[in-house]
């Protein structure tokens, strides 16, 4: 990774700064802009989910998500965070628990996730997918 992508181990705040700057750099293509924004969002989701799981006393799940979040954020720029959050199963377990207690969450989830999935399909089929 060091030779091919110039990626190396670094402090999380260094990766945050580099990725944040790239996410809002108007000089690059929109595909890369949205890729970097997705990476920033993945780290934010990982941190928030870790805190929620700790507060819910689900320490094993918190260790899994927190460890994955720390691992993906300890480089000079963020990459693979979106894929990491796809396999962060505790987010789906948490969503299932919330939807069981609050039935209105299910349709809201469908109405929010369906357009996002459609946008990802369009981006992928048009060659605008970089992750």
The list of the chain residues with pLDDT below 50 reads none
Domains of the chain, by residue range, sit at 2-103
- Centre a 10 Å sphere on the Cβ of residue 68 and count the other Cβ atoms it contains: 21
Judged by DSSP in three states, 92 sits in helix
Is pTM beyond 0.85 here?
A: no
- Centre a 10 Å sphere on the Cβ of residue 49 and count the other Cβ atoms it contains: 21
CB-based contact 73:15 (threshold 8 Å): yes
Rounded Cα–Cα distance for residues 123 and 77 (Å): 23
Residue 94, H or E segment: helix 89-101
Closest CA to 68 of 47, 93, 37: 47
Q: What is the pLDDT of residue 107?
A: 93
Q: What is the pLDDT of residue 123?
A: 80
Q: What is the pLDDT of residue 130?
A: 65
Report in angstroms the alpha-carbon separations of 82 from 4, 14, 70, 113.
20, 19, 14, 15
Write out pLDDT tens, residues 18-54.
999 988 988 887 778 888 888 999 999 999 999 999 9
- The per-residue pLDDT of the chain, averaged, comes to 88
């Amino acid at each position: 990774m060091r030779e091919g992508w110039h990626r190396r181990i670094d402090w999380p705040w260094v990766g945050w700064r580099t990725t944040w700057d790239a996410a809002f750099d108007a000089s690059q293509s929109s595909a890369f802009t949205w890729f970097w924004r997705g990476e920033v969002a993945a780290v934010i989701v990982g941190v928030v989910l870790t805190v929620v799981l700790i507060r819910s006393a689900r320490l094993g799940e918190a260790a899994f998500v927190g460890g994955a979040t720390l691992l993906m954020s300890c480089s000079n720029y963020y990459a693979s965070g979106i894929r990491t959050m796809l396999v962060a199963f505790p987010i789906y377990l948490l969503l299932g628990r919330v939807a069981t207690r609050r039935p209105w969450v299910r349709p809201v989830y469908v109405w929010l996730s369906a357009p996002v999935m459609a946008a990802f399909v369009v981006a992928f089929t048009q060659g605008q997918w970089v992750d």
